Amino acid sequence: MFKHATFPIAAVMLLAGCASNVQNPVDRITYRDEPLVRDVEDGMTQERVLAIGGKPSNASARTVVPGLCHDYILSHEGKRQPYYVSFDASGRVDGQGFLTCRQLEENQRNRRP
């Protein structure tokens, strides 16, 4: 039984290690029905994201990559989880995930040579 569970766990850990922003894959499952997680897609306009997710808790200019970043707080069974949606210089979604915009910026800054 243990050997059968090892492969899927190893696969998830390997994929998480390859991701550009290390995030907990359990969050994707827990919050999958939230409109921001379920409906927002790369290339979507900022106006469309605001229609889906409402006003963000914070909006800030990005410093490493030109654009804007919105911070949201998702809630599920009393647990609060940060979620960001980032926009490129033309106002289109270029990223999203279970980090704050500040954490996203730190990750991008650390990846730069």
What is the residue extent of each domain of the chain? Answer: 23-111
Predicted pLDDT at 12: 47
Predicted pLDDT at 14: 43
For the entire predicted model, the pTM comes to 0.78
| CATH class of the domain whose range is 23-111 | alpha beta
Average pLDDT, the chain: 86
| Burial class of residue 104 in the structure, from the number of CB atoms within 10 Å of its CB (0-12 exposed, 13-18 middle, 19+ buried) | buried
